[in-house]
Amino acid sequence: MIQRAAPASIRKLFEFSSLRRQVDFRYYTAQVATSLRPCNYSADEVFPVVDWDKLGFGFTPTDYMYITKSCDVAGNFKQGQLNGYDNIQLSPSAGVLNYGQGLFEGTKAYRQDNGGLSLFRPRENAIRMQIGAERMCMPYPSTDQFVDAVKQTALANKRWIPPPGKGSLYIRPLLYGSGSILGLAPAPEYTFLVYACPVGNYFKEGTAPLNLYVDEEFHRASRGGAGGVKSITNYAPVLRAIRNARERGFSDVLYLDSVNKKYIEEVSSCNIFLVKGKVISTPIACGTILEGVTRKSIMEIAIDLGYQVEERLIEADELISADEVFCTGTAVGVAPVGSITYKGQRIEYKIRSELVCKKLYSTLVGIQKRHIEDKRDWIVDIE
């Protein structure tokens, strides 16, 4: 069982459960506006000239992208289609450009040892986009339409999916206000677009332990804001903090809460966990922390392996006594932390072969590769 602890004042800040109930209801009743449709790409795979061993987390244009637009006042989306990957046309007065009305998601497609292709928990990404869309006053594709769009994009670009063990096809669904708007209001039209590119390790260090810096000047999110959803507006404000940290030799930044400035929240692009004995703790998601799909999966795996998992407020001072610290995310996977610098003190963590995070990650990858039984139906085969 996952233990959650937070004062009532914080729980009231973000009524996630009520919003989730609204989204779940819409998920079960939403009309499916698309289905897998034929496209012009060839069924014969001609692999691109790529050095899979040197694949990092950089942009590589692939062949196709999926696109559809909202078509009525109810926010239903037209039947989507696959187009060749290209630039998009956008009015200078589009809601996403003027007011930042946009969301994005991130999921991955994998090539199995037998040559089959699969996705990992895409319905979770669909539901998270729906929660974000409710927060940002945007219509959204149904769960089935979202998953179908991701499947189509993966299949159309399947020649770009790296061989087993060499990486994955990162799939980026976007939802944004494409209609023209001058006054501050929701856009009159929305676009749902999905593109993809092959990726390897997110950090330039590869699989080496991360060196984090606790930033006491900049904050990623604030109470009542949009930190708990994957809004595009959450990311540009942290670029300066990341740049400052990397110029000093750090991998990334660990942010504190903006009110008390003593509770850790998350890293720029991933969630964080602390290990102490058989207890694994992660900051509670109360509106300022994005609830990652990998985060959720690792918590469930940890319980299966006999660990006690806590979601709670974690003071930065607890970093000093932790046995182990690690980060999770779709892009980063599960990454061990080698050191954290806080208030001028560098806290070092022993990197051992028996790290808890390595055991958790090994189990996660085993499930994704079908080497370990998928008891929860996390894996979605697409071919």
Please identify every residue annotated as catalytic: 230
CB 68 within 8 A of CB 181: no
Six token digits for residue 324 = 């182990």
The answer to whether the beta carbons of residues 137 and 65 sit under 8 Å apart is no
How far apart, in whole angstroms, are the C-alpha atoms of residue 209 and residue 253?
A: 14
Give CA torsion, residues 147, 148, 153, 157, to 10 deg. Answer: 110
Can you tell me the distance from the alpha carbon of 155 to that of 50, in angstroms, rounded to the nearest whole number?
Answer: 18
- Is residue 160 within 8 Å of 61, Cβ to Cβ? no
Q: Give dist(CA 274, CA 241) in Å, integer.
A: 23
Furthest C-alpha separation in the chain: 58
CA dist 176 and 190 (Å) reads 6
The answer to whether 173 and 150 are in contact (CB under 8 A) is yes
Distances (CA, A) of 371 to 212, 296, 355, 378: 32, 20, 21, 13
Contact in structure between 378 and 122 (CB atoms under 8 Å): no
In angstroms, the CA 165 to CA 158 distance is 16
**Cβ-count burial 318-330 (b if 16+ within 10 Å, e if not):** ebeebebbbbbbb
- Nearest-5° Cα angle at 256, 252 to 259: 155
176 alpha carbon, distance to own chain's centre: 17
Only one residue has tokens 């740049």, namely: 243
3-state helix, strand, coil in the chain (%, to 5): 25, 30, 45
Q: How far is 217 from 221, CA to CA, in rounded Å?
A: 12
